[in-house]
Amino acid sequence: MTEPAARTESNEASIERVGVIGAGLMGSGIAEVSAKAGLDVIVVEANEVAAETGRERIEKSLERAVRADKMTAEQQAAILDRLRFTAEMAELADRQLVVEAIIENENAKTSVFRQLDEIVVDPEAVLATNTSSIPIMKLAMVTRRPGNVIGIHFFNPVPVLHLVEIVTSLHTSPHTQAVAEAYSTNQLGKRVIHSTDRAGFIVNALLIPYILSAVRMFESGFASKEDIDQGMVTGCAHPMGPLALADLIGLDTTMAVAESLYAEFKEQLYAPPPLLARMVEAGLLGRKTGRGFYDYSAARA
Which residue among 28, 132, 195, 260 is the active-site one?
Answer: 132
Which residue among 45, 100, 165, 181 is the active-site one?
Answer: 165
Report d(CA 2, CA 4) in Å as an integer: 7
Count other C-beta atoms under 10 Å from residue 143's C-beta.
20
Known catalytic residue: 132?
A: yes
Give residue 280's identity as a one-letter amino acid code. Answer: V
Residue 15's nearest CA partner among 90, 124, 117 is 124
Report d(CA 197, CA 199) in Å as an integer: 7
Question: What is the distance between the terminal CA atoms of the chain, rounded to a whole angstrom?
Answer: 51
Coarse DSSP helix, strand, coil percentages of the chain, rounded to the nearest 5 percent: 50, 15, 35
Residue 166 φ then ψ, to 5°: -100, 120
Residue 135's nearest CA partner among 111, 110, 164, 102 is 110
Query: What is the torsion angle, in degrees rounded to the nearest 10, for the CA atoms of residue 237, residue 238, residue 239 and residue 242?
Result: -150
Known catalytic residue: 105?
A: no
Known catalytic residue: 47?
A: no
Q: Are 247 and 292 in contact (CB under 8 A)?
A: yes
Which residue among 34, 204, 259, 260 is the active-site one?
Answer: 204
Which residue among 153, 169, 181, 260 is the active-site one?
Answer: 153
Report d(CA 104, CA 260) in Å as an integer: 9
Residues annotated as catalytic (active site), given as ranges: 132, 153, 165, 204
